[in-house]
Amino acid sequence: MSDRSRLRLVVLQVLVVSLLLTLVGRLWYLQIYSGDEYRDQATNNQVRKVLTEAVRGQILDDEGRALVRNKTSLVVSVDRSVLDRMKLVKEQAVLSALAVKLSTTPQSLSDRITLCGSPGAKKPPICWNGSPFQPIPVAHDVTPAVALSILEDAEDFPGVTADLEAIREYPMPFKANAVHMLGYTGKVTQDELDASAGSANPLTQDDQVGKAGLELEYDQYLRGINGVKSLAIDRAGNVTGTVSETAAIPGDNLVTNIDAKVQAVLEAQLQAAVDRARSLPDPKSNGNYKADSAAGVVMDVRNGHIVAMASLPDYDPSVWVGGVSAKEYALLKATSAGIPLLSRAYQGGFAPGSTFKVVSTSAMLQSGRYTPAGPYPCPSFLNIGPRKFTNAENIGHGNLTLTRAVEVSCDTVFYKVAFAEWLRDGGLTPVGHPADIFINEALGWGFGKKTGIDLPGESSSVIETRASLVANWQANQAHECQLAATGYPTLAKTNPSLAAQYRAFAQDACAPSGSVYQGGDAVNFVIGQGQTLTTPLKMAQIYGAIANGGTLWTPQVAKAVLGPDGKLVKEFPPVAEGRLPISRSTLAFLQNALVGVTTSGTSRNQFATFPLAQIPVASKTGTAEVTGKQTTSWFTTYAPATSKPEYAIVMMVSQGGFGSTTSADSVRAVYQALFGIKGSNPPDPKLSILPGGVLPTKLPVIAPDGTILPPGSVIPASTVTSTAAGSALPPLGPPSPPPVASAGLAPAFVGEPRRQRSGGP
């Protein structure tokens, strides 16, 4: 063998030895040095987590009555992993037999248990968007007979279970609906999952979360913390055992300032006002008032607590239980049905009419140029530019004091002052810094922004300023010019006069003068019309501030959070947003004038038999004109008016006619229920719907056995410690996810058609 061949052999031997040493070293590193780490990773790859959803907390009224609670429901679920191990023929046989039991079709069941994203899967919520190892609910609220028949024939239904689950229930104490405040729950969305990532209690894809109202606002308390069961899974995907299990922690209970009895009375009287309006003829049309929607608010003026709040049309909150159908959800959003999903109390926008005159009166007095004595001429009409502005029913009242002008709600008094102030600010060629006393007064009172109530989707009130007028004109000019050119051909076929009116508005908005604050704008503004829009909740806040001495309380629905064991988790103290920017003398003037409205003004007939000597009532009527619609009825009040005021009550009926004839009687009935008044008799606290005639200052009590007792109760010694109410269910099988519900309607603002701006000279 040559030296060259021998050298090659040596090199080859060295190479082989090196490779062997490298392989041995790598094996030692993987199996010995890093063995524990890789074994843990391998184990984790074989573990799947299944959630045990926490039972949601209850929503209670101020006396501890359940407004929303949980009930047990029999639900039939299918274990997808069990069916996957079957032959196709067997799986189809199981689904066919189950379909017969549940009175449905095999295809429907197959669609429900198909994982979202799989080939052929239907869109959510039909497909299953949760864990493949989680039992998939296919039927809710089944009868015990059906559940037992499935359990008894378990060999015919492998992978099928019938268990109890907690679902939301709405007991409606005293028939109180309160659906717009309570809200509803539904399946978590991807956006909600992403938003909760990194939080202390992140959401999972199987969660049910609050979608609207209090359910959404206080979801972090109500939801609780899910339990987790870790399952061992083999290579074939079969469950081989339980690695670990953590019990679910139930959600907390939300105590509200709502009183179910007051809520029930308000809802009944709101419906009565609607019925009353529909029985009254509209003098400007051939029929009665339509009264297409309404809203009411009862607020504690001492702290901003919302005692009751209602909106019509409303709907049955149980529609969400088990998942709302596409047809049902479409009806909740349908304009033809009045958009029942929307609360007119805090999400609607309506012209306030003469109830806004408290702001205008304050602006006059605060300016120093106007005195209470006057005199102020009140003719039946006033010509401003090309338009005739009239009083209600074209009635004049001669020369008036400012107090009397408020009591009889004389529009022409305010028209004349508003036009004079507009001229003072330069008219069509405004001075460098116009005073705009009425606009700035409204902004100072908090108009143009939200009240800050603890409910999602609140609408801001709308105040048109010179700057916003220009901005809106620039944004909408092209569209308005198009409407000015084409008109409203569809509307013209059914209502040519209204179509012509709308076209005139568009022509006005298209022209350069549409960006100029005109005399008509100033005149409309001062009586709460034109582009001014607000919510009944905002008016309750405003009149509550007049009542309590000037404090603008932030409206608050929630009072406190109590744990399942009854311990206090969090209390929500009253929050002052600010104060009315007016002097004591101006405030006293308003308080006196509003009492005069009830005793000798526009609402005197409705309170003629009310015991005003014992319970004086401050009030203001409003009848707002809306282009293309019938007038809006307003009635804003507070009482007792002269000593220690307690409540502000506001009622509004869209297309409901006059504030006095439609809404005042219903507001009076609410006061009678609150103060215990029968007929014209003095108030009797024993006859009040409130215990002792007062709202509770303490919180409800939760006993160890879960019983909820009224505020101030002492827990009986006989109570037995057990599971807190709504915190758990009997251990009858693996829990199933709650029913699917659709996402909520995006916050909306119900505006009104643009009103004629009526340019001045």
What per-residue confidence (pLDDT) applies to 238? Answer: 65
Name residues whose C-beta falls within 8 Å of residue 349's C-beta, 6 or more positions apart in sequence.
459, 461, 462, 533, 534, 535, 749, 750, 751, 752
pLDDT at residue number 446: 96
Whether the predicted pLDDT of 755 surpasses 50: no
CA distance 466 to 485: 26
Q: What is the pLDDT of residues 57-77, one digit of tens each?
A: 999 999 999 999 998 888 899
pLDDT at position 54 over 70: yes
Q: Indicate the SS3 state at residue 78.
A: strand
How confident is the model over 733-738, as a mean pLDDT?
34
Closest alpha carbon to 752 in 367, 351, 296, 357: 351
In angstroms, the CA 170 to CA 61 distance is 13
Give the model's pLDDT for residue 721.
47
CB atoms within 10 A of CB 694: 11
Write the pLDDT tens digit of every residue in 223-261. Answer: 988 887 776 776 666 667 777 778 888 999 999 999 999
How far apart CA 98 and CA 92 sit, in angstroms, is 10
Whole-number Å distance between alpha carbons of 506 and 482: 8
Res 226: pLDDT: 80
Between CA 164 and CA 70 the distance in angstroms is 12
- Reported as half-sphere exposure (CB side, CA atoms, 13 A), residue 155 has a value of 0
Q: Per-residue b/e over 324-336, b at no fewer than 16 CB within 10 Å?
A: beeeebebbeeee
Window from 76-80, 123-127, 368-372, 747-751 with minimum mean pLDDT: 747-751
Pair of tokens at residue 278 = 């529909």
Q: In the 8-state DSSP scheme, what is residue 225? A: B
CA angle 81, 83, 89 (to 5 degrees): 155
At residue 83 the predicted structure's pLDDT band, cuts being 50, 70 and 90, is confident
Q: Which fold, 353-526?
A: Beta-lactamase (3.40.710)
With bands split at pLDDT 50, 70 and 90, how would you rate the model's confidence at 586? very high
Predicted confidence (pLDDT) per residue in 281-330, tens digit: 998 888 999 999 999 999 999 999 999 999 999 999 999 887 777 788 88
State the pLDDT at residue 727: 40
> Rounded to the nearest 10 degrees, how much is the dihedral formed by the CA atoms of 297, 301, 302, 304?
40
Cα gap 728→464, rounded to integer Å: 53
pLDDT at 160: 92
Which range among 476-490, 586-600, 619-633, 737-751 shows the weakest confidence by mean pLDDT? 737-751
C-alpha 654/C-alpha 642 separation (Å) is 31
Name beta bridge partners: 708. 702
Q: Which of 312, 319, 405, 313 is nearest to 360 (CA)?
A: 405
Q: Which region among 150-164, 263-277, 395-409, 667-681 has the lowest average model confidence (pLDDT)?
A: 150-164
Average confidence (pLDDT) over 629-652: 97
> Which of 368, 654, 352, 664 minimizes the C-alpha distance to 527?
352
Look at residue 731 in the predicted model and tell me its pLDDT. 37
Q: Dump the DSSP string for 477-500.
A: HHHHHHHHHH--HHHHHH-HHHHH
Which residue type does 539 have?
M
**Weakest-pLDDT range from 237-246, 410-419, 667-676:** 237-246
Q: What's the pLDDT at 598? A: 98
Between the alpha carbon of residue 371 and those of residues 402, 422, 471, 487, 587, the distances in Å are 8, 19, 36, 47, 14
- Percent of the chain at pLDDT exceeding 90: 59
**Under 8 Å between Cβ of 741 and 320:** yes
> What pLDDT was estimated at residue 528?
96
With 60 as the cut, is the pLDDT of residue 652 above it?
yes
Tokens for 457?
């989707």
State the Cα–Cα distance between residues 644 and 631, nearest whole angstrom.
34
Instruction: Answer for the pair 136, 122: CB distance below 8 angstroms, yes or no.
Output: no
Once rounded to an integer, what is the mean pLDDT over residues 640-646? 95
Average pLDDT for 453-482: 94
Structure tokens at 130: 């949760």
Sheet arrangement for strand 618-624: 306-312, 293-300, 647-654, 632-639, 618-624
CA-CA distance, 130 to 578, in Å (whole number)? 47
pLDDT at residue number 697: 95
Nearest Cα residue to 530 out of 518, 540, 513: 518
Residue 669 one-letter amino acid? A
Residue that the structure tokens 């809106």 belong to: 472
pLDDT tens digit sequence for 279-295: 999 988 889 999 999 99
The whole-number pLDDT of residue 2 equals 65
pLDDT of 726 strictly over 60: no
Phi then psi for residue 649, to 5 deg, are -125, 130
CA distance 134 to 114: 12
pLDDT greater at residue 761 or residue 354: 354
Q: Which residues contact 292 (CB under 8 A, 6 or more apart)?
A: 338, 654, 655
On the question of pLDDT at 148 being above 70, the answer is yes
DSSP letter, residue 512: G
Q: Which pLDDT does position 730 carry in this prediction?
A: 40
Binning pLDDT at 50, 70 and 90, where does residue 720 land?
low
322 Ramachandran zone, left/alpha/beta (phi>0; psi -120 to 50): left
Task: State the Cα–Cα distance between residues 272 and 258, nearest whole angstrom.
Answer: 21
Query: How far, in Å, CA of 186 to CA of 219, rounded?
Result: 11
Q: What are phi and psi of 657, to 5 degrees?
A: 90, -145
Residue-level pLDDT at 748: 37
What is the reported pLDDT for 509? Answer: 85
Cα gap 62→83, rounded to integer Å? 49
389's tokens: 């502005």
d(CA 185, CA 404): 51
Q: What does the alpha-carbon distance between residue 633 and residue 624 come to, in Å, rounded to a whole number?
A: 7
Among 132-136, 185-189, 294-298, whose mean pLDDT is lowest? 132-136
Give 545-548 contacts, CB < 8 A, sequence gap 24+: 545/301, 545/579, 545/580, 546/358, 546/580, 546/587, 546/590, 546/591, 546/594, 546/618, 546/638, 547/301, 547/591, 547/618, 547/638, 547/641, 547/645, 547/648, 548/301, 548/302, 548/645
Model confidence band, residue 35 (pLDDT cutoffs 50, 70, 90): low
Q: What is the rounded average pLDDT of the residues 573-585?
A: 96
pLDDT surpassing 60 at residue 489: yes
623 neighbors 659 (Cβ within 8 angstroms):
yes
What confidence score (pLDDT) does residue 127 get? 82
pLDDT band at 275 (very low <50, low <70, confident <90, very high): very high
Residue owning tokens 């969660």: 207
Radius of gyration, CA atoms only, the chain = 34
Domain ranges within the chain, ordered by starting residue: 260-345+548-616+641-693, 353-526
| pTM of the predicted model as reported, rounded to 2 decimal places | 0.84
Cα separation, 239 vs 245, whole angstroms? 15
Among all chains, which residue has been given the structure tokens 């902004």? Answer: 443
Q: How far apart are CA 390 and CA 411, in angstroms?
A: 7
Class of domain 260-345+548-616+641-693: alpha beta
Phi, psi of 738 (to 5 degrees): -65, 165
pLDDT band at 50 (very low <50, low <70, confident <90, very high): low
Share of the chain above pLDDT 70, in %: 88
Amino acid at 618: A
CA-based nearest residue to 662, from 621, 692, 699, 693? 621
Q: Which residues are within 8 A (CB) of 247 and not within 5 positions of it... i.e. 6 or more apart?
A: 52, 227
The reply to whether 260-345+548-616+641-693 and 353-526 are identical in fold is: yes
In whole angstroms, give the CA distance from residue 200 to residue 180. Answer: 29
